[in-house]
Amino acid sequence: MTPIRLCHLYPDQLNIYADRGNIAVFRSRAERRGYELEVVGIGVGETLAPECDLIYLGGGQDREQALIAPDLARRGSEISRALEDGAALLAVCGGYQLLGRGYRDRFDFEMPGAGVLPLETVAGEGRLIGDVSIECELDPGEMLTVVGFENHGGRTLLDRGAVPFGRVVHGFGNDGESGFEGCRLGKAIGTYLHGPLLPRNPWLADWLLGQALARTLGEPPELEALDDELEYQAHAVALRRARERGGKLR
């Protein structure tokens, strides 16, 4: 079976939103189908592992983001080259913000960004918190619902013509006004949804694994169906909470 190499950027700093749960889902869903998932942690000053199939960045508070921002900004071209070579990417919350051109925090401190995604982020008044549901279309003609939890003070603004990950049905999304959530650039997805994200949306984990495998196989393979009864129960609970409670500005 084709191995999958996952490069986990800054696992010691960007790890506050159950990000290890997302990695565990990638591993479980790959190994249950006979694929080996090799996870390589990449810290400050370290080079992105060669032949990277999937890149992951998690969330962090402003202090942790400030610690890694200069290093991430320096490796923007490195990440872009990996994407051009066929790697897939998932970035959550703080990692998502810093893949844009930068983030200005509530003290007007400018953190440099990697410039990989067409967006920038500034701190807003109050935090956007609550359960979220969005609709997205990663494959043409197939509209799917993604659920998660958001908790962010940043307001992310997409460039004109940039493609959002999805459109908000319940919750705030990027800025509480545009109706957009996250950003999509080919195989790269940035999003504010955590909690963690993938246990409640197993189809998204499979889409990313398929895109990662396509780097060496040429196209995404037909992945064997798994028993996802518990995952879809979790999805249904999160969707109900998003409908009933929505988000709150705090």
Catalytic amino acids? 93, 194
Q: Pull the structure tokens for residue 176.
A: 């509480």
Q: Pull the structure tokens for residue 246.
A: 């929505």
Cα within 13 Å of Cα(216), Cβ side: 13
Among the listed residues 159, 152, 240, 236, the one whose alpha carbon sits nearest the alpha carbon of residue 201:
236
Whole-number Å distance between alpha carbons of 105 and 121: 9
Q: Pull the structure tokens for residue 230.
A: 């518990």
Backbone dihedral angles phi then psi of residue 240, each to the nearest 5 degrees: -65, -40
Other beta carbons within 10 Å of 70? 11
